[in-house]
Chain A
Amino acid sequence: MISPALALFLLFLIVPIVLAFALAFTNARLISPRPPEFIGLDNFALLLTDPVFWASVRNTFYFAVVVVPVQAGLALVLAVLVNAKVRGTQFFRTIYFLPVVTSMVVVSLLWRFMYQPDGLINRFLEAVTFGGFTGIDWLNDPTWAMPAIMLMSVWQGVGFTMIIWLSGLQTIPAELYEASELDGAGTWHQFRYVTWPGLLQTRTFILVTITIAAFSLFTQINVMTQGGPLDSTTTVVYQAVRSGYQQLQTGYASAISLAFFAMVLAVSLIQRYLSRERG
């Protein structure tokens, strides 16, 4: 029964991965009359000495390190809010989920407008600070471009994470809450000793899914900043795509992909190791 899936995995995932692996050791080009040649580790040597690649690695980690906890945390707050029995829960749930069902390309276009120097974000901040705030050119400031993309990414993805938290909350037996109430536990106490432990497995799940999504950061960058300003938002996947499609260097792009696989694999193994020890 597993064979259809295995066959499909083999055909459309394993074969391309093996191909990417093999191409990484060649100078294959997307458009070229010259046959690819085996060039050993040249691509990797080049990669390791390319400051843009290292900037990509740094940015990718920066993004993941911020977005994973922020998205998970905000989503938990939303889930608790939506889980409270107050009127209009359906409405709020739907609104929070709206960005999830909107295409990332469209979302990135919309936020590009809002992040303009004279755009809505600046105008809003000026209004709430009574003019105390002076506009930031969000996507063109090497300091702010990445946080701006983080905010948007959290905005887009948090609705989905919220639903996963919700599911976790709903599996915590109501009796536990009742029991703790009888013991006179306050809200925080209840959260700390009933809700949080009850969410252990949900936590692991959320950690893994957001981490993987965060490491694959690409669409937002491609639409909003193309890696700039001054490489402050370039990411590993973005570099792989840029080298492969725009610069036609299939071999080099494959080497970047391979480095990426190794990186994410290492991170997930570490995550697994850490969560295993604590669990």
Chain B
Amino acid sequence: MSRRNRRIAAASLSVLAVAGLAACSSGTGGNADGPATISLWTHAGGNDAELDVVNGIVEDFNASQDQYVVEVQDFPQDAYNDAVVAAASSNNLPCIVDVDGPNVANWAWAGYIQPMGLPEDTFEGQLEGTLGRVDGEVYAYGYFDVALAMYSRQSILDDAGVRVPTLEEPWTKDEFMDALAKIDGLEQYDYALDMGTGGTGEWISYGYSPQLQSFGGDLVDRSDFQSAEGALNGPEALEWAQWFRGLVDDGYMAQTSGEDSTADFVNGKSGLLFTGNWADTTVKDAFDDAVVLPPPDLGTGPKIGAGSWQWALAEGCEEADGAREYLEFAHDTKYFVEYGNAVGLIPATLDAAAEIPAYAEGGENRIYLEMADQFAVVRPETPAYPFISSVFQKAASDILAGGDPRSILDKAVADIDRDIQQNGGYTS
């Protein structure tokens, strides 16, 4: 479907919506056939804790009014994007979708989702990384974010004789390398460090592009998102690539770690674990002396990824007003708290954090919130992101496997630039 057709469709829908409003205001109220159905899709299939929260919000909303009924359809995470793409290609999208943060710009560009149209002050006090913004407009909001962190044990760091880094004073690159050398010197672990290099897919971009950024490189030149030249193959990026592969060459890290880096850390195979804070509970349950460390400052300060799953209003929704009403209803501190309690990740608003003991000031998980606030860099907000990410995943794997960093990065840049150019710069 062409852009023009979509515009026409959108325009006629808004006419319908206006007509609907007029009908409401003229006093008929609601629909003669009963409440209108609003379908909602979520990626939380198989994740009962999160799904229960979604279902709870929907139940509350359905009970709160009698004009609309929201119906939930859940998908397992890995199947979700394909389902949305397939549905969009047949104009079968539901009214409300959830969308992974880095895909927001792409889906907005493709006309899958539309600006949410909620008042700007709705989002006050929300972590910026949990808002899906395109050209300043909010297309999506999320209830939580994830932080990248390092885990170790006090006893390991003490044995190795290295200081515990803090938010105010994270390890510098030299300190980090020194710590690795010392932990390696203990000869108690298969590897001093496990960065989850056995992971695949988006984990690679999410986990390692912040390190690239900490070196001063980036996935793409963010000034206009038209080229990756210089960002992904400049001297900083090369330095990152050499450092990254160097960790393998020095024997500090496996070229490909085990299937589950958290399990391997807990089973004593590594001394230092770099992963997302979803590992928090497993690690703390296993070790009384577990410590959470900020990622090292590799040059331009510590950096972590941002942007997890968020909710958005789909284009072509026939009950856009109802969907908007739901999204506004659901943006309630109460639900942010429920989400936070259920998934254990970082609540997206300060109000919610204050109500969750672990994330309140002085709470044991507060460090994640602080990191998300201070160190987070969202993945480039460009429709080109899915392509960029795919190219970066291959480049990072090739670098880890010992390929020549310069030619790998130059090829990645050429691929990305060609894609951007082929898509007319991704300008609509």
Q: Do chains A and B touch in the complex (CB under 8 A)?
A: yes
- Residues of chain A touching chain B, judged by Cβ–Cβ distance below 8 Å, are 27, 29-35, 112-113, 116-118, 137, 139-140, 142, 226-231, 242, 245-249
Task: Report the nearest A residue to B3, measured CB to CB.
Answer: A33
A230 touches B401 (CB 8 A): yes
Judged by a CB distance under 8 angstroms, whether B42 is at the interface is no
Judged by a CB distance under 8 angstroms, whether B14 is at the interface is no
Chain A contacts of B400 at CB under 8 A?
Answer: 229
A152 shortest CB reach to chain B, Å: 16
Of the listed stretches B66-74, B153-161, B209-217, B253-261, name the one at the interface; the rest are far from the partner chain.
Answer: B253-261
Complexed CA–CA distance, A228 and B255 (Å): 12
Judged by a CB distance under 8 angstroms, whether B88 is at the interface is yes
Judged by a CB distance under 8 angstroms, whether B332 is at the interface is no
Task: Report the nearest A residue to B398, measured CB to CB.
Answer: A230
One of B107, B394, B403, B423 near A29 (C-beta < 8 A):
B423
Complexed CA–CA distance, A231 and B111 (Å): 35
Interface on chain A toward B: helix, strand, loop, or mixed SS? loop
B401 touches A35 (CB 8 A): no
A31 touches B390 (CB 8 A): no
A247 touches B387 (CB 8 A): yes
B85 touches A30 (CB 8 A): yes
Known A33-B6, A33-B109, A117-B254; contact A112-B401, beta-carbon cutoff 8 A: no
For B111-155 the 0/1 string (1 means CB < 8 A from A) is 110000000000000000000000000000000000000000000
Task: Report the nearest A residue to B81, measured CB to CB.
Answer: A245
For B213-230 the 0/1 string (1 means CB < 8 A from A) is 000000000000000000
Task: Report the nearest A residue to B106, measured CB to CB.
Answer: A31
One of B190, B387, B393 near A118 (C-beta < 8 A):
B190
- Residues of chain B touching chain A, judged by Cβ–Cβ distance below 8 Å, are 2-3, 6, 82, 85, 88-89, 106-107, 109-112, 190, 200, 254-256, 258-259, 269, 386-387, 390-391, 393-394, 397-398, 400-403, 419, 422-424, 428
Complexed CA–CA distance, A231 and B402 (Å): 12
A–B pairs, 23, beta carbons within 8 Å: A30-B85, A30-B89, A31-B110, A32-B110, A33-B109, A33-B428, A34-B423, A35-B2, A113-B259, A118-B269, A137-B255, A140-B401, A226-B200, A226-B394, A227-B394, A228-B401, A229-B402, A230-B401, A230-B402, A230-B403, A231-B398, A245-B82, A247-B391
Given contacts A33-B109, A229-B402, 5 further A-B contacts (CB under 8 A): A29-B423, A35-B3, A113-B259, A137-B255, A142-B401
Chain B contacts of A140 at CB under 8 A?
Answer: 255-256, 401
Chain B contacts of A27 at CB under 8 A?
Answer: 422
Top 4 closest pairs, chain A to chain B, by CB: A229-B401, A33-B3, A31-B110, A140-B256
B144 shortest CB reach to chain A, Å: 26
One of B107, B397, B424 near A228 (C-beta < 8 A):
B397
B220 shortest CB reach to chain A, Å: 15
A26 shortest CB reach to chain B, Å: 11
